Amino acid sequence: MKLKAGDVVEFKKYEDMAEDERTKIGKYYFPSSGTVTKVLNNYNFFHIEESPYSFSTKSVARVVSSKKG
């Protein structure tokens, strides 16, 4: 899945994710959605606003809205 800064993503339900999709983030710290701020293309990880964690693109259920361009 290709993401870009500005995309709003919805994450899979925590219980439905494999360990590598959770990227060692605890259940109570894992958000349900967020706006992508930075994409790390080489590693298929990204950051979202107001979170100190890196997320795997495998954890995304869908892109809710996409920034054009």
Write down the residue that tokens 């809205």 correspond to. Answer: 65
Q: Domain residues of the chain, as ranges?
A: 8-65
Residue 37 or residue 67, greater confidence = 37
Q: Which residue has the higher pLDDT, 41 or 22?
A: 22
- At residue 69 the predicted structure's pLDDT band, cuts being 50, 70 and 90, is low
Taking the C-alpha atoms of residue 61 and residue 12, their distance in angstroms, rounded to an integer, is 5
Give pLDDT, residue 31. Answer: 97
pTM above 0.85, yes or no: yes
Question: Pick from 42, 38, 17, 37: which is nearest to 27 by CA?
Answer: 17
Cβ distance 39 to 6 under 8 Å? no
